[in-house]
Structure 1
């Protein structure tokens, strides 16, 4: 437990976490109460074991403190003069000290959020990207409430290991595309590179490449239950690599070259740990690894498990940006599920446009599962209940947007069939597992990776992305 806040720390057992949960809730409640009391004035209370509410701290509030400061300034000036005769400056820098109540409130809010962040086991498990995101978040955070704390930090507390593994996956996916293939991870270390080349690792420890190296080594250390490197340790390792050409790290060696590149070379145990961590993160959700068996089935037969993964809102928002909609388009969404993406499309014309009023879109969905189709229709969407692969194609749509079944390479049949529904000059955006691009070569048009764990809320950590294709006009 953190002695200042009573927060549980990472590494505790489930039983210990369960016992500490009330302490966490009480501590957070007390921090929010203290923040409010300091800002507006009031008392911080605590209930004793006998049920008595006792006041443990009282505050005047920032507005009152600001007035008291101004009054104190006036008293000090008065104490330094007789009548109206001026004897000279008494304040440093030659002017009266001033404070702003609004700036005090902003500083208090940032301090409160950082105090919660540093007390909870968030930064101990958050990925390098999430830690950088929080640095920006703290510059202008929302009002501190228990609900806001749960919204921004809750996911890290509920599943710390997920975020540790996500951090490792982010680092390795950024450094080498091979790690975006869950099938290579599934078949063992022979499917992964033993050496990674990082560019722009120059003499500045804040350079892009140096930051990537540090994030990667720290992600591996956190996965192993080790503390992140302190700045001195990190600086010494990089200095040794530059002076002598290489340096050891826990999991291998780093070699430094005069062109600014660095090679991370993993030893057998390091590579095994990386492989095991990524395999655990990605999971065995897609049986499309080279050693997986899949029964032959007719091209239009629906797989036994279509791996229904609803499209998360963040993915939908990015996909819609890529559609370059102008209004009035006819849109088809095969495998539309319960209509989550159609919800966003239906609301598209209501979103703010500073130049003109948007023309509504005309969206049609197709869904094999009758229950999900009915759920989509209940929200007002036009949905056909059918196996998309058995629907006769008609090239009458301006746009096809889709998140087809991820099962095996079954998605390829959906992707091929969808192209037949587009008008000439129409565009298609298709969300796919990353193996479709990196392993199978089954994508069309331009490929874009989605962030690691984009579908985690839908039940899979498999690397994903999407392809964007424009049908030729002639």
Structure 2
């Protein structure tokens, strides 16, 4: 409480200085205009633009708004630095913050400052975790899905240096973010560049006209650079590596739960039920992506006798995808294992069928085949692979399946996932990255991809062999 009061007192004083500065800028503009008018009366031929040096020869409101932005931007920058919140931000977050301040900083009033700082301090833990995830994801795409790749004792920065020894693609800034992470977790301040690992690397390659091999080391890292431009980074503190992995797991969410060392390597479906049934509602913007990828037309896009599609949403949850497809005029079947959700789907109306069943226990002989299978299955423990593999059996010849899956499906090396990727390739399926944070509003930071598969049509008119 005492700290909150001290911060509030400080920003109230800052607001007073801000008001004084803006008032003085108003007065300075008016005084300069008065001076120009006086000169014009004394010498009518005088060049007013030259007298004002071109700095203020514009509309008063526009000029004062420019000064307001400059003042507020300076105040916000000072507050973030003074409260040490910037130390928690990775390079991407810092650049985004600075762009916002440059484009249109909010008025730095006491109320705005207090509310924003309180929110940022409350989110400090998440800001730090997000920074770690962003830094490692920029090293290797596999890091963008914690279930696909855990941080180990060594990290490879591919093509980090050019043939002339210059840093490539801001790899040095990414390395600085990793350094910041380990110093923070180790309880030490982040050193200036010259005193950190990047400074040691810069010194090691200085004085040479072409890239040469080198090796440097400090308390946290051992780095070896190669003539091909690759840089290998050994993380010396196993205790901090373990903490980084835990923070990554916390950030990406417990729904993933299947890092390489615990991944289910059996082809049999994962036993038991997912935590909370793996339920994370599909946000509206992803529902639109799923329908678009599935070529699910709406009434507004139909021409002539455009057919109504038979559509299945397995593990439908509250039916965000199913309801959107039904609203577009299609015949939709929803399968949902939770009785409460199934009741909600029935009461909402609009769906052709609602089954309260375990989708993995159903068979196409009983449920039928569908023109489209649209799904957002549970992710944890590789269950998304189980559900999508099973769902492919329900596609009619020429049908299309669209599934949201955990990004780790592209990277995990367990036998089941590897065989699933081979199956997708055989079907001609494609994976497309979805934006980071797509499920944030649903309560998880899991990174996701969109799988699209079209079932081939066998020459006999039957679908190709099922998985």
TM-score by length of 1: 0.68
Alignment correspondent of 1:169: 133
For residues 216-254 of structure 1, what are the alpha-carbon distances to aligned partners after superposition, in whole Å with 9 as ceiling and x for unaligned? 333333443444443544663342132372333552133
1:255 aligned to which of 210, 224, 237:
224
Aligned partners of 1:461 and 1:322: how far apart in 2? 23
Q: CA 1:200–1:368 in 2, change beyond 3 Å: closer, same or farther?
A: same
Aligned partners of 1:180 and 1:138: how far apart in 2? 28
1:133 aligns with 2:102: no
Alignment correspondent of 1:403: 376
For residues 8-63 of structure 1, what are the alpha-carbon distances to aligned partners after superposition, in whole Å with 9 as ceiling and x for unaligned? xxxxxxxxxx55345556767887x779x95xxxxxxxxxxxxxxxxxx696598x
Aligned partners of 2:182 and 2:388: how far apart in 1? 37
Is the contact made by 1:164 and 1:223 (CA closer than 8 Å) also made in structure 2?
Answer: no
Question: Tell me, what secondary structure is at the counterpart of 2:57?
Answer: coil
The 5-angstrom pairing of residues 299-318 of structure 1 reads: 303=273, 305=275, 306-312=277-283
Aligned partners of 1:460 and 1:87: how far apart in 2? 66
Is the contact made by 1:336 and 1:367 (CA closer than 8 Å) also made in structure 2?
Answer: yes
The 5-angstrom pairing of residues 90-239 of structure 1 reads: 91=50, 97-100=56-59, 101-105=61-65, 108-109=68-69, 111-112=71-72, 115-116=75-76, 118-120=78-80, 122-141=85-104, 144=107, 156-177=120-141, 179=143, 182=146, 192=152, 194-202=154-162, 203-204=165-166, 207-233=169-195, 236-239=199-202
For structure 2, which runs of at least 5 residues remain unmatched after alignment? 207-212, 300-307, 459-467
Aligned partners of 1:363 and 1:147: how far apart in 2? 50
Alignment correspondent of 1:332: 312
1:280 aligns with 2:251: no
Deviation at 1:417, TM superposition (A): 2.5
1:467 aligns with 2:451: yes
Question: Tell me, what secondary structure is at the counterpart of 1:368?
Answer: coil
Question: Tell me, what secondary structure is at the counterpart of 1:397?
Answer: strand
1:72 aligned to which of 31, 49, 60:
31
Deviation at 1:416, TM superposition (A): 1.9
Is the contact made by 1:411 and 1:432 (CA closer than 8 Å) also made in structure 2?
Answer: yes
The 5-angstrom pairing of residues 296-375 of structure 1 reads: 303=273, 305=275, 306-312=277-283, 322-323=293-294, 326-328=297-299, 330=309, 331-341=311-321, 364-375=333-344
1:414 aligns with 2:397: no
Q: CA 1:106–1:177 in 2, change beyond 3 Å: closer, same or farther?
A: same
For structure 1, which runs of at least 5 residues remain unmatched after alignment? 1-17, 39-56, 348-358
Question: Tell me, what secondary structure is at the counterpart of 1:138?
Answer: helix
2:368 aligned to which of 394, 397, 421:
394
Question: Tell me, what secondary structure is at the counterpart of 2:318?
Answer: coil
Deviation at 1:465, TM superposition (A): 3.3
Deviation at 1:334, TM superposition (A): 2.0
Aligned partners of 1:325 and 1:106: how far apart in 2? 48
Deviation at 1:396, TM superposition (A): 2.8
Aligned partners of 1:82 and 1:169: how far apart in 2? 65
TM-score by length of 2: 0.69
Is the contact made by 1:198 and 1:209 (CA closer than 8 Å) also made in structure 2?
Answer: no
Is the contact made by 1:393 and 1:420 (CA closer than 8 Å) also made in structure 2?
Answer: no
For residues 149-180 of structure 1, what are the alpha-carbon distances to aligned partners after superposition, in whole Å with 9 as ceiling and x for unaligned? 89987764323223322322222233235545
Is the contact made by 1:282 and 1:461 (CA closer than 8 Å) also made in structure 2?
Answer: no
Deviation at 1:303, TM superposition (A): 1.9
1:437 aligned to which of 410, 427, 433:
410
Is the contact made by 1:168 and 1:278 (CA closer than 8 Å) also made in structure 2?
Answer: no
Q: CA 1:229–1:428 in 2, change beyond 3 Å: closer, same or farther?
A: farther
Does 454-463 or 160-169 show the bigger shift? 454-463
Is the contact made by 2:398 and 2:455 (CA closer than 8 Å) also made in structure 1?
Answer: yes
Is the contact made by 2:160 and 2:168 (CA closer than 8 Å) also made in structure 1?
Answer: no
Alignment correspondent of 2:210: none
Deviation at 1:411, TM superposition (A): 2.8
Aligned partners of 1:473 and 1:161: how far apart in 2? 52
Is the contact made by 1:166 and 1:453 (CA closer than 8 Å) also made in structure 2?
Answer: no
Aligned partners of 1:473 and 1:78: how far apart in 2? 83
Aligned partners of 2:78 and 2:53: how far apart in 1? 39
CA RMSD of aligned residues (A): 4.6
Alignment correspondent of 1:384: 354
Deviation at 1:196, TM superposition (A): 0.8
